[in-house]
Amino acid sequence: MKRSNVHRQRGAALLTAMVIVTLVATLAAAMVWQQWRAVQVEAAERARLQAAWILNGALDWARLILREDARTGGANGTDNLGEPWAVPLAEARLSTFLAADKDNTDDAPDAFLSGAISDAQARYNLRNLFDAAGKVVPGEQKVLQRLCDTAGVSPEVAARLASALALASIGGSDAPLMPQSVTQLTWLGLDAQTVALLAPYVVLLPTATPVNLNTATSDVIAAVLGLTAGDAKGLVATRERTPFKTLDEAKKSLPEGLALNEKQVAVATRYFEVRGQLRLNDRVLRERSLVVRSNQEVLTVQRERMSLTDPAS
Q: How confident is the model at residue 23 (pLDDT cuts 50, 70, 90)?
A: confident
Mean per-residue pLDDT over the chain, rounded? 85
Give the pLDDT confidence score for residue 111 in this predicted structure: 78
Strand pairing category for 124-125 and 297-308: unpaired
Q: Are 273 and 292 in contact (CB under 8 A)?
A: no
Kindly list the domain boundaries of the chain, sorted by start residue.
61-121+270-308, 124-200
**pTM metric for this prediction:** 0.79
CA dist 28 to 22, 35, 38, 142, Å? 10, 10, 15, 70
Greater confidence, 57 or 197? 197
Best CA proximity match to 287, nearest among 295, 279, 298: 279
User: Is residue 75's pLDDT more than 50?
Assistant: no
218-225 and 229-241 are packed helices; what angle lies between their axes, rounded to 10 degrees? Answer: 120
Give the pLDDT confidence score for residue 248 in this predicted structure: 92
Give the pLDDT confidence score for residue 42 in this predicted structure: 65
Burial 265-298 (b: 16+ CB within 10 A, else e): bbbbbbbbbbbbbbbbeebbbbbebbbbbeeeeb
Give the pLDDT confidence score for residue 76 in this predicted structure: 63
Q: Phi and psi dihedrals of 172, rounded to 5?
A: 115, 170
Query: What's the CA gap between 66 and 86, in Å, rounded?
Result: 10
Taking only the tens place, the pLDDT of each residue in 286-313 is 889 999 998 789 999 998 877 666 555 5
Query: What's the CA gap between 291 and 300, in Å, rounded?
Result: 4
User: Is residue 5's pLDDT more than 70?
Assistant: no
Give the pLDDT confidence score for residue 281 in this predicted structure: 72
Query: What's the CA gap between 148 and 156, in Å, rounded?
Result: 9
Question: What single letter denotes the amino acid at residue 64?
Answer: L
Number of H helices, E strands in the chain: 9, 9
Percent of the chain residues past pLDDT 90, beyond the cut: 51
- The residues with which 298 forms a beta bridge, in sequence order, are 293
> Cβ contacts of residue 178 below 8 Å, gap of 6+?
165, 168, 169, 171
Q: What is the mean pLDDT of residues 75-103?
A: 76
Taking residue 29's Cβ as centre, other Cβ atoms within 10 Å add up to 10
Q: Are 239 and 214 in contact (CB under 8 A)?
A: yes
Q: Are 267 and 82 in contact (CB under 8 A)?
A: no
User: Is residue 6's pLDDT more than 80?
Assistant: no
Taking only the tens place, the pLDDT of each residue in 27-51 is 888 787 777 777 666 656 666 666 6
**Which of 32-36, 248-252, 269-273 is most confident?**
269-273
- The residues with which 308 forms a beta bridge, in sequence order, are 284
Domain 61-121+270-308 - what CATH class?
alpha beta
Segment holding 115, helix H or strand E? strand 111-119
* Greatest Cα-to-Cα distance within the chain, rounded to the nearest angstrom: 122
Give the pLDDT confidence score for residue 12 in this predicted structure: 74
Please provide the distance, in angstroms rounded to a whole number, between the alpha carbons at the two ends of the chain.
75
**Which of 77-91, 211-225, 243-257 is most confident?**
211-225
